[in-house]
Copies of this chain bind each other. A is one copy, B any other.
């Protein structure tokens, strides 16, 4: 995959910031390659970049428009068609993390061909994977897990990599979702892998490594999410994590996309995740909690972090409020 930089980020008609989390994530973790954002009427998300048209972005040097927004089901909306074609006309490639492929939309495929532009469908694996063999690999692994989807797993994993690199520690972010792939420039969208091969895919993306190297594997979904828990369990087994970090956002009324489904108790969620992780790595343990307190005031957020830490008895951080230093302290001493 060679996605040409810099980027124009397409936020479409995102209903909220979560819906545009791919574009917003790229803007946050790779600001140096983001020139602007393109939003349609009704867009409720903001990547905090200058709004501009594909032509304006191209004039400023943009090479690719990132289709970094979503809707339920993760498919490319007909309402976006004019913008996608406009980007191709302006001379930009397109890179999408959606379930349906840009290259399967006849009008988009024809226009790309006519303009000599490339279409990158990063959610779609371009290779085959083996069935997982469950054989223990060398090196150390951390996996972020969560009480729910879209709760801060990728953010936490990227923050851990940044902090570990700052301290000179060996660590590699392993992307398992489309935003992570667009940020890292490599990885596989495991939710697009045929179910029989998901655990094997994760084994493949996190191979043997130095004994003091940490693979920091981006979590997906939640064992308690009725739509996606199977993906999460295959990821846990394939990752063979030594360390788990539990991600949570206080105050969610229900599981994302599932009205009527309450979030699990965090202590129960930790226990169940660790028990499943121990199938493929008997020393798996939870090293801490990453709390997403972005909707709280500073005071309420810090108070929530303190309460969680007292309750669960593990270090609790909010990557964007406190940093993840206390988790990295534990990883340094990890036995």
A residues neighboring B (CB under 8 Å): 72-74, 99, 130-134, 190-196, 198-200, 223-224, 226-235, 237, 257-258, 260-261, 272, 275-276, 279-280
Chain B residue numbers with a CB within 8 Å of A99 are 196
List 6 additional contacts besides A134-B260, A196-B231; criterion CB under 8 Å.
A133-B258, A191-B196, A192-B195, A199-B227, A223-B276, A229-B233
Quick one: copies of this chain in the complex? 2
How long is the Cα–Cα vector from A191 to B196 in the complex, in angstroms? 5
Q: Which residue of the partner chain, among B195, B226, B237, contacts A279 with CB atoms under 8 Å?
A: B226
How long is the Cα–Cα vector from A130 to B75 in the complex, in angstroms? 11
Chain B residue numbers with a CB within 8 Å of A191 are 194-196
A72-B131, A194-B191 as given contacts; A280 in contact with B199, CB under 8 Å? no
28 contacts between A and B (CB under 8 A): A74-B196, A132-B226, A133-B258, A134-B226, A134-B227, A134-B260, A191-B195, A192-B195, A193-B194, A193-B195, A194-B195, A195-B230, A195-B231, A195-B234, A196-B228, A196-B231, A198-B230, A199-B228, A200-B227, A224-B279, A226-B279, A227-B237, A229-B234, A229-B237, A229-B276, A230-B235, A233-B233, A272-B275
Q: By CB atoms of chain B within 10 A, which of A73, A132, A196, A275 has the most?
A: A196
How far apart are A218's CB and chain B's nearest CB, in angstroms? 15
* Pairs A-B, 6 closest by C-beta atoms: A230-B234, A134-B226, A191-B196, A132-B227, A230-B230, A195-B195
